């Protein structure tokens, strides 16, 4: 049977304005880095996408290299778009990126105009789209002049292949520079996508201030520290978890006893709040108004539902914030 979206899908989600732009993003967005490749079960991914859109998640984040194999997440998502979501294209914000190694030779990596423009053409073909909503430079390139990378982003907007552009993992100084160049070209930088979680707070050291100053929104990636900020690793490494799978980016060795001790203490606070740790970790990011959206991953509908329930309790008392600060300092 063909997919029909829930008519009440906009009633439970919160939408936040992305910096000083006209675009609003859902407080919780869904990323397709893991769980949507050819190594995964297509129908499971399809159920997650349906559930997400039914719950008001309008934003789906991809990149050229998501899979594995690289490119397969875009292909699979493209198939879901054309079979199930075609009628909803104007209700969706679809992003993709280029910046990490994608094809052999000197033109399939980092930030040259050659790479960014040909990669977007490939992504559009894989997803069977005329345009993406947001196109990102996936990481800064130490060797390509920033002007070249930004001119490529500006060009795809002017060609109508992307509506907005963003940057990911740029330092505060690089972000300020990228914002200035893009503004001078007439294409404001919409958004920054940094890694940000209770266990990785580098953005608090200048980046969030630059975003506010430049009018850029932000979307926090790996907000659950790839699953570590949930209760799943408290009693060992489950076989079907990201750290237990051979294709997962989270390595078992990185789940140290030291980290687990922090996670256990956070889990206690979450329980006292009547929330799962995943929910508390997401809510903790959303308390900062400079965070437009939190970009979660999910390997099941159940996890996505757990994460969506975050929106039922976003409030923290000063006492809770103080206790959390002590644990994650
Ligand atoms: N710009 C960049 O360089 C960059 C880098 C990384 C990610 N991203 C983006 O950010 C998105 C999210 O990153 P991420 O997948 O690392 O995010 P995450 O939300 O930190 O981790 C998601 C993983 O945690 C587990 N999980 C999620 N909810 C759970 C719950 N309620 N209970 C128990 N376990 C739960 C699942 O792993 P299991 O498989 O263990 O179930 C899930 O796949 C990516 O898809 C991508 O779009 C961008």
The answer to the question of residue 8 being in a domain is no
Average pLDDT over residues 289-296: 98
The answer to the question of residue 254 being in a domain is no
Cβ-proximal residues to 92 (8 Å cutoff; 6+ apart), any chain:
53, 58, 59, 60, 85, 133
Please give the backbone phi and psi of residue 152, each rounded to the nearest 5 degrees, phi first: -65, -40
Tally of domains within the chain: 1
- Ligand 1, residue 99: give the atom nearest the CA: 3
pLDDT (tens digit per residue) in 240-288:
999 999 888 999 999 999 999 999 999 999 999 999 999 999 999 999 9
The answer to the question of residue 246 being in a domain is no
pLDDT (tens digit per residue) in 152-211:
999 999 999 999 999 999 999 999 999 999 999 999 999 999 999 999 999 999 999 999
The residue contributing the CA closest to ligand 1 atom 11 is: 31
- C-beta of residue 244 within 8 angstroms of C-beta of residue 221: no
CATH number (domain holding residue 113) = 3.20.20.100
Note the Cα 261 to chain centre separation in Å. Answer: 27
Core vs surface per residue 30-43: b (16+ CB within 10 A) or e: bbbbbbbbeebeee
Residue-range definition of the domain harbouring residue 157: 15-231+278-315
Give the Å distance between the CA of 159 and the centre of ligand 1: 32
The answer to the question of residue 261 being in a domain is no
The answer to the question of residue 325 being in a domain is no
Q: Residues for the chain: how many in total?
A: 329
Measure the CA–CA gap between 312 and 264, rounded to whole angstroms: 23
Ligand 1 lined by 99 (C-beta under 6 Å): no
The residue to which tokens 């493209």 are assigned: 78
Ligand 1 lined by 232 (C-beta under 6 Å): yes
The answer to the question of residue 171 being in a domain is yes
How far CA 316 is from CA of 270, 273, 322, in Å, comes to 11, 9, 10
The pTM of this model reads 0.98
The answer to the question of residue 269 being in a domain is no
The answer to the question of residue 258 being in a domain is no
């Amino acid at each position: 049977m063909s997919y029909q979206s829930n008519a009440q899908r906009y009633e439970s989600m919160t939408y936040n304005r992305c910096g000083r732009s006209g675009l609003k993003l859902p407080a919780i967005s869904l990323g397709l880095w893991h769980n949507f490749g050819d190594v995964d079960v297509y129908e499971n991914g399809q159920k997650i996408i349906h559930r997400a859109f039914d719950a008001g998640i309008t934003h789906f984040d991809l990149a050229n290299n998501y899979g594995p194999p690289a490119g397969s997440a875009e292909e699979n998502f493209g198939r879901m778009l054309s079979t199930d979501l075609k009628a909803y294209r104007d209700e969706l914000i679809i992003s993709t990126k280029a910046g990490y190694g994608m094809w052999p030779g000197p033109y399939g990596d980092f930030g040259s105009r050659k790479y960014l423009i040909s990669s977007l053409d490939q992504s559009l073909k894989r997803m069977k789209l005329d345009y993406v909503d947001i196109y990102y430079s996936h990481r800064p390139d130490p060797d390509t002049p920033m002007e070249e990378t930004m001119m490529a982003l500006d060009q795809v907007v002017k060609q109508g292949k992307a509506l907005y552009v963003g940057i990911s993992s740029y330092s505060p100084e690089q972000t300020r520079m990228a914002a200035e160049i893009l503004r001078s070209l007439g294409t404001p930088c919409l958004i920054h996508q940094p890694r940000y979680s209770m266990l990785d707070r580098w953005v608090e050291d200048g980046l969030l201030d630059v975003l506010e100053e430049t009018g850029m929104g932000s979307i926090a990636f790996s907000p659950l520290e790839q699953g570590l900020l949930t209760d799943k690793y408290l009693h060992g490494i489950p076989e079907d978890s990201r750290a237990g799978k051979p294709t997962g980016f989270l390595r078992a060795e990185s789940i140290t006893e030291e980290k687990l001790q922090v996670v256990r203490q956070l889990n206690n606070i979450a329980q006292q709040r009547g929330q799962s740790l995943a929910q508390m970790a997401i809510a903790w990011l959303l308390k900062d108004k400079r965070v437009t959206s939190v970009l979660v991953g999910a390997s099941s509908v159940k996890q996505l539902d757990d994460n969506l329930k975050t929106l039922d309790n976003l409030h923290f008392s000063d006492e809770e914030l103080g206790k959390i600060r002590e644990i994650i300092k």
